[in-house]
Amino acid sequence: MYSSAIRLNFRKLCKMAGAKLEAVPSVDIEEGVFKYVLIKVYGNDDSLNKNIVRGYADCQWHSDIYDRASESCKGLGLETECLGGGRIEHNPNLKLIKVYGYSQGFGKADHAETRRILLDKFPLYSIEISDEGY
């Protein structure tokens, strides 16, 4: 049986981890065509986590995107795991996002999960997914 002090400490840690996770935006992508990664972010305890989407046109490799996002999360005391990658075509004028392809280094991200996350940020967009292309 755990003491009440240990339970209270655990609840406090979970609350802090939850607040840190909330501070991490679910989506950070640019306009145009670029590589992206799907990342799992979590605290010390993997039971509190969320998936995020990151894509930057100035990054040549999927690993560059992951490294940038990972460093940002580590600054908040959070851990990360890359769940895969692909490409995104983001056209805000047409309110259209296309998610497709894969990462040679990380494998193919779950594009359906990526679409779900993107729809939260861009609810008025048409978001298409495909396993075709690189």
Q: Where is the binding site for substrate, in residues?
A: 35
Q: Where is the binding site, in residues?
A: 35
pLDDT value for 44: 75
Where are the domains positioned within the chain? 4-129
What are the mean pLDDT values of the chain's consecutive 10-residue runs (134 residues total)? 51 62 96 98 85 97 98 95 98 98 97 98 98 73
90 is known as an active-site residue: no
pLDDT value for 10: 46
Q: Which of 21, 34, 42, 62 is catalytic?
A: 62
CATH 3.40.718.10 fits domain 4-129: no
Query: Which parts of 26-120 are beta strand (E)?
Result: 27-29, 32-42, 49-55, 79-91, 96-100
The side-by-side arrangement of strands in the sheet containing 126-129 is 27-29, 49-55, 32-42, 79-91, 96-100, 126-129
